Structure 1
Amino acid sequence: MKSPRKGGEVSQDPPPYHVLHKLPPGDSPYVRAKHVQLVEKDPEAAIVLFWKAINAGDRVDSALKDMAIVMKQQDRADEAIEAIMSFRDRCSKQAQESLDNVLIDLYKKCGRMEEQIELLKQKLRMIYQGEAFNGKLTKTARSHGRKFQVTIKQETSRILGNLGWAYMQQGNHVAAEVVYHKAQIIDPDANKACNLCLCLIRQARYAEARSVLDEVLQGKLSGSSEDKSKKRAAELLQELKQCQPVVLSSNNSLGLNIEDAFLEGLDQLVKHWTALRSRRLPIFEEISPHRDQLAC
């Protein structure tokens, strides 16, 4: 709002307090929690107030998510997981996807890889069945206060990248390699290429690893010009130069375990992801350890 001054001058009134501090308007328990979090910068007091907001039924979707994020920042990730699992049934259907995203970060923080993997696979199932993004091909996301559009293709590649990373933490480089290959086919980028390269190095497949790395070094992938990707690629190149060629025995069978069998279904995603809204893909029926029982 502009107000006139003497002499014809026009002054710019300061924005409202809640706008200035990026707070929701009002004086409810949730608003007080956000004030303590963002203005007073007292995370422990904010957590207490977020609890009060949840118990009072005040903006439970936002209160639970925000409380879990603050708990993670305070190294209370296990508590945050328990809070989400206990109270997510009070949240709306629209909030469940964002709560899953917070849970994935919390599982990663705690090193709970099995639970992270299962939740990532569940999110992939939702994409395959046309249930993600409320059946739409794009959604509006937020990051650091900015809005941007995310496509179902980008989201699929992102989830696959996270799944590949989780497999790597378990030392399952075979499964991670398969996942990263699929992610690169859908939406290639330099970061996932570097991870794929590392998976191949860990399997002593140096020529294939160098081929993947060359795409990053030659700037053929998105993100190749970023400093982080350049540094990672340079480190991998040095590691490759120190590796000696290895001839694998013809009897060196990697085989398929139950996780690898699950990954075989990703071939269908690569072929059919553009049709996700119109039909359900029968690629993630109950998974059995026996390949001939897969409903693929």
Structure 2
Amino acid sequence: MERNSKKSSGMKEKESFHVIHKVPSGDTPYVRAKHAQLVQKDPEAAIVLFWKAINAGDRVDSALKDMAVVMKQVDRTEEAIEAIKSFRGRCSKQAQESLDNVLIDLYKKCGKVDEQIALLKQKLRLIFQGEVFNGKPTKTARSHGKKFQVSVKQETSRILGNLGWAYMQKTNYMAAEVVYRKAQMIDPDANKACNLGLCLIKQARYDEARSVLEDVLLGKLPGSDDIKSRNRAEELLLELESRQPPPLDLPGLNLEDDFVEGLERLMNEWAPSRSKRLPIFEEISAFRDQLAC
């Protein structure tokens, strides 16, 4: 009886270990690779074992994706790209979408912007053809260990946002603007609004940019309460103000002190009864030639 109790206790401890460390149980190449990755924190050993899992046909979908992620972490990005291209044919149809997402991150990491744009456009074509999420309206995604549902609409907006950012890396701000506007029409958020504002600033369309960024600060968009988005909107507004030239119809602004004093003296000669405080310069055109002196 006691032996059974100890055996049961040992099994529970083993199960809790796998739950805590989020590693599968067993002794296959894939399981050993995950143990090296998550428990031993040895990425190079994990990569070797992931290769063994792929060659042995052991959970190839997960092994290829996980290996590419680990390779990215240790700056072996080019190898990860080649691995996905070479072995994705061994993976199931259901795994192709997540492999594309990993590939996009890898392209972004190593600056392959053209490849990133091509793959993002391909993903958008799949959406238009109704083939995204393997034909389902939603999919289950993970973030920070939590599961949540993503709709086709949200996925479309996310891909458009990534495409807009890729165009910005190529300084094609007009294309980026078009893409960001479409993304905002589908599923607006504060982060994409900030990127749209930056596109408009780069095109010297300051009034439009100000309107977009102020919507973030006024809390009109989802995600406006995120401190990072608010800070970025404020920074972009400051950049906008530094780029924008002073209005031409307000000649009393940003003038040198000696110029203002000379103008005061001239105004007092012509209208001695005036207050010494400068009014709006409604008569400035009448004495433009004298100012030139």
In which range does the TM-score fall when normalised by the shorter chain? 0.7 to 0.9
Indicate conservation of the 8 Å contact 1:32/1:49, yes or no. Answer: yes
Taking structure 2 as the reference length, the TM-score comes to: 0.78
Structure 1: distance between partners of 2:70 and 2:33: 11
Aligned to 1:75: 75
Cα distance, 1:65–1:38 mapped onto 2, change above 3 Å? same
Aligned to 2:56: 56
Show the 5 A alignment for 1:185-204: 185-204=185-204
Q: How far off its partner does 1:98 sit?
A: 0.3
Aligned to 1:8: none
Show the 5 A alignment for 1:175-214: 175-214=175-214
> Does residue 104 in structure 1 map to residue 80 in structure 2?
no
Please, which moves more after superposition, 192-201 or 131-140?
131-140
Indicate conservation of the 8 Å contact 1:37/1:43, yes or no. Answer: yes
Aligned to 1:43: 43
Deviations 1:55-114 (A, max 9, x none): 111100000000000000001111100000000000000000000000000000000000
Q: How far off its partner does 1:244 sit?
A: 2.4
Q: How far off its partner does 1:21 sit?
A: 1.8
> Which ranges of 4 or more aligned residues in structure 1 deviate by more than 3 Å?
none
Aligned to 2:136: 136
Share of identical aligned residues, percent? Answer: 77
Deviations 1:94-143 (A, max 9, x none): 00000000000000000000000000000000000000012121111111
Aligned to 2:148: 148
Structure 2: distance between partners of 1:74 and 1:246: 49
SS in 1 for 2:224: coil
Structure 2: distance between partners of 1:51 and 1:246: 61
Deviations 1:233-270 (A, max 9, x none): 110110111122599xxxxxxxxxxxxxxxxxxxxxxx
Unaligned stretches of 5+ residues in structure 2 = 6-11, 248-293
**Aligned partner of 1:207: which letter?**
D
Deviations 1:201-246 (A, max 9, x none): 0000001111111110101111111111011011011011112259
Aligned to 1:224: 224
Unaligned stretches of 5+ residues in structure 1 = 6-12, 248-296
Aligned to 2:158: 158
Q: Which has the higher contact order (CA 8 A, sep 6+)?
A: 1
Indicate conservation of the 8 Å contact 1:224/1:230, yes or no. Answer: yes
Structure with greater proportional helix content: 2
Aligned to 2:287: none
Number of residue pairs aligned between Structure 1 and Structure 2? 236
